[in-house]
A and B are shown apart, each in its own frame.
Chain A
Amino acid sequence: MTSSSDRSGASANSISKPVIEFRGVEYRLADGSQLLANFHLAIESGETMVLLGRSGAGKTTALKLINRLLEPTAGQVFVEGRGTLEWDPIALRRHIGYVIQETGLFPHYTVEENIGVTPRLEGWDRARIRHRAEELLALVGLDPRAYLERYPHELSGGQRQRVGLARALAADPPVLLMDEPFGALDPLTRVEVRQEFKQLQSRLQKTVVIVTHDIAEAVDLGTRIALLEAGEIRSVHAAGKFLQSDEPLAAAYVAQIRALQPEGEAS
């Protein structure tokens, strides 16, 4: 079903092995209902793959298959050439930063402690963790002096999301999964943080899979955009050509979203 018509536009690195690859993946619940079907997708090193689709399309499910929070019921997901089931799940997850939709900050930890979770698991010393936390807070636009010692319940929703992003970046993982990371931000801050992230990404060259509903964000951040519907990939587009695509589904999607988000055409 994958009409990966725009695969050529992937990027210069397309010769190298994909960092993440779905091969014929299917995911069913125990009751038999199918959340993902016939899922093929290859994500190259340093690329930012955007998963776009309506609520309930299966975007979060696809992300969780990558860091093995879920295991495919058929087919395989490969990370750096190895099937996720062959990885030690702990090693796999430490290798992949994960920003979850609901932030999932630890309520009993301060911001600094939240950011420091993975570094601590990796055995970093205190000073290094502190330094890293300050650096990352600054990166996501929060003043370290004001926020390091706060608890999550003392933050706004948007601030929590930014801390969640900082936490995922803490141990500098080569792969980053982001599930609507900027969902709770107001439009202005959203654009700011997006720009920051874009700069960051151009420096760090991580392999990123990001879920968003915002077309402007998708086009601005993504190298490619995968369009999901009802658990299947309908098409994959080079980000630069997405808005002009004549592929009917993409065109329809763009038209619909545009109608709802007139301000969506940023940058």
Chain B
Amino acid sequence: MSLARYFAQHGSEILQSTGEHLWLTVVTMLLAVGIGVPLGILVARRPWSSKPILGGANIAETIPSLALFGFLLPLPWLGARGDRIAVAALTLYALLPIIRNTAAGIKSIDPAVREAALGMGMTGRQILWRVEMPLAFPTILAGIRVATVWTIGIATIAAAVGAGGLGEYIFRGLAMVDNNVILAGAIPAAVLALLADLLLGLLERRVRPERRKSRRPRPTWSGTGTAVAAGVVLIALFASVGLAGCGGDRAGTVVVGSKNFPEQALLGEILAQEIENRAHLRVVRKFYLAGTFICQQALLAGRIDTYVEYTGTALTAILKDPIEQDPAAVFSKVRQQYQQRFNLSVLPPLGFNNTFAIVIRGEDARRLHLTTISEAAQYTPHWRAAFGYEFMGRPDGYAGFVSTYGLKFAGAPKILDLGLLYRALLDREVDLVAGNSTDGLLSARDLTVLQDDKRYFPPYQAVPIVRDETLARYPELRDAIAALAGKISDAEMQKMNYEVVAEHRDISQVAREFLRSNGLG
């Protein structure tokens, strides 16, 4: 699909995300100015405060944004909503240039001017408001300008915590490996940044004292004035669209979340359409949240009402329990613990199991009549193997795998990026790899997944998780979601993943087709 067509089709959606983005920026900047300017004044007035304040702001600047989100998540009021987390982090980042420029602007004022003000009997407050602030204003504005442009750029990361904005397209596009989608987020963000830079730059030039002219006719709305006015109108427009998008989230709507990879977005979309069609509720989609931890936090805080998790992940990553092999036991344990500890309902599994898959070429499997890993053990000493970083490192990965099956390989296994494993296998560089059981290529190419006959790999069954509170408010939700139970097989999931990842098909369309062909839509 061409970029132009993507924009045409998703225009109103992109406009709304732009509004959200602007809203995040405006709120952030109001806060950052409210905090940064007083701190800058303090730095200018009290030299002792310079080190701790500027040092602190400098350090804040160096914290990676995802880490910062992680620190903010557990905080009581702040962590309760994605946009609060995002605004808090963005504000922290925006402080440095504002503090620095405020201090510099005040310090650069001609000492004779300050002395005159003092000598005329102005109080400290009068000197600040009538002399220092007006004279430092152009410099402060320059700092605000820098901070605004930064904020518009960094705000794209807010999508990671479900705060919306243009970052959603960038995350989605990265996960789908689709440049058009990335550009749908990146281009409006760049335009916003340029616009902000331009408008604030014009304003800055206007307020420089040496540019003031006496006896100008009062209404000086010349070119720059019109541009500023147009900018303000535009901002107001976008902000109101964004507000409309942000507000009213909670009444009569269900928020569906997902993690940041295509299978998750697909599952989220299937869940969302099913809820829309069957329960007739309005659905807000907050996909591409940055990982298990953030999804769980979002669920607990009520930022999302439901998403699809994997039982093995829930057991180890959330409940911090040791790995277990029996799917039924894992499921019931997760279901019971989630209910007890979090008031979250774990609904019946969707069917497929997204676990490690030991994969060989189909021709080898047929020639050697192999269906299980145990059967392959006699051949592996002649085979080369390749695995991903994750498989080599995880407790349910390589070490236990080779010892359980008593495997030996020809030479040490190669370590490759996940995306390159299948290519290496198909190109006959290696003969055995560990992939994921739902990888799209498994259904599209002549590849065989060997059965884990000793049940070494723990179960990672996909299960929808829903807040109890939401189920109580919308009882019809339970039936709608339960209708999906057992409907998605491994092969079905592989096929859908392939369509989205390899064929760049639209997620909502793939989901719709799936639901229809299963008599659900």
A: residues with CB less than 8 A from B are: 67, 69, 89-96, 98, 100-108, 110, 117-118, 121, 149-151, 153-154, 164, 167
What is the bound-complex CA distance between A164 and B123, given in angstroms? 20
Q: Decide if B120 touches A117 in the complex (CB within 8 Å).
A: yes
What is the bound-complex CA distance between A90 and B123, given in angstroms? 7
Binds A, one of B63-71, B88-96, B210-218, B249-257: B210-218
Closest to A89 in B: B121
Binds A, one of B108-116, B153-161, B172-180, B431-439: B108-116
- Contact among A106, A118, A149 with B214 in the assembled complex (CB-CB below 8 Å): A149
Q: A90-B123, A151-B212 are in contact. Are A106 and B116 (CB under 8 A)?
A: yes
Q: Which residues of the other chain, B, contact A96 by a CB distance below 8 angstroms?
A: 119
- Contact among A93, A107, A121 with B209 in the assembled complex (CB-CB below 8 Å): A107
Q: Which residues of the other chain, B, contact A104 by a CB distance below 8 angstroms?
A: 110, 112-117, 119
CB proximity to A under 8 Å, residues B237-277: none
Q: A104-B110, A106-B131, A107-B209 are in contact. Are A93 and B118 (CB under 8 A)?
A: yes
Q: Which residues of the other chain, A, contact B114 by a CB distance below 8 angstroms?
A: 104
B122 at the interface (CB under 8 A from A): yes
Q: Decide if A98 touches B214 in the complex (CB within 8 Å).
A: no
Least Cβ–Cβ distance between A150 and chain B, in angstroms: 4
Q: Decide if A154 touches B214 in the complex (CB within 8 Å).
A: yes
| Across the A-B interface, the 9 shortest Cβ-Cβ residue pairs | A104-B116, A93-B121, A94-B121, A102-B112, A98-B119, A104-B112, A149-B214, A150-B214, A108-B209
- Contact among A90, A103, A153 with B121 in the assembled complex (CB-CB below 8 Å): A90
Of A103, A106, A150, A167, the most chain B CB neighbours within 10 A belong to: A106
Q: Which residues of the other chain, A, contact B134 by a CB distance below 8 angstroms?
A: 108
- Contact among A91, A98, A150 with B116 in the assembled complex (CB-CB below 8 Å): A98
Q: Decide if A94 touches B113 in the complex (CB within 8 Å).
A: no
Q: A149-B214, A151-B214, A154-B214 are in contact. Are A106 and B113 (CB under 8 A)?
A: yes
Q: Decide if B118 touches A107 in the complex (CB within 8 Å).
A: no
Q: A104-B115, A106-B131 are in contact. Are A93 and B120 (CB under 8 A)?
A: yes
Q: Which residues of the other chain, A, contact B113 by a CB distance below 8 angstroms?
A: 104-107
Q: Which residues of the other chain, A, contact B343 by a CB distance below 8 angstroms?
A: none
Q: Would you give 9 A-B contacts (Cβ < 8 Å), ordered by A?
A: A93-B118, A93-B119, A94-B120, A94-B121, A102-B110, A107-B210, A108-B135, A118-B121, A150-B214
What is the bound-complex CA distance between A153 and B135, given in angstroms? 14
Q: Decide if B118 touches A100 in the complex (CB within 8 Å).
A: no
What is the bound-complex CA distance between A94 and B210, given in angstroms? 29
Q: A89-B121, A107-B135 are in contact. List 6 more A-B contacts (CB 8 A).
A: A69-B115, A93-B119, A105-B113, A105-B116, A117-B117, A121-B121
What is the bound-complex CA distance between A167 and B117, given in angstroms? 11
Q: Decide if B119 touches A121 in the complex (CB within 8 Å).
A: no
Q: Which residues of the other chain, A, contact B123 by a CB distance below 8 angstroms?
A: 90
What is the bound-complex CA distance between A95 and B113, given in angstroms? 19
Q: Which residues of the other chain, A, contact B130 by a CB distance below 8 angstroms?
A: 117
Q: Which residues of the other chain, B, contact A101 by a CB distance below 8 angstroms?
A: 112
Closest to B124 in A: A90
Q: A104-B113, A108-B135, A121-B126 are in contact. Are A153 and B120 (CB under 8 A)?
A: no
What is the bound-complex CA distance between A150 and B214, given in angstroms? 5
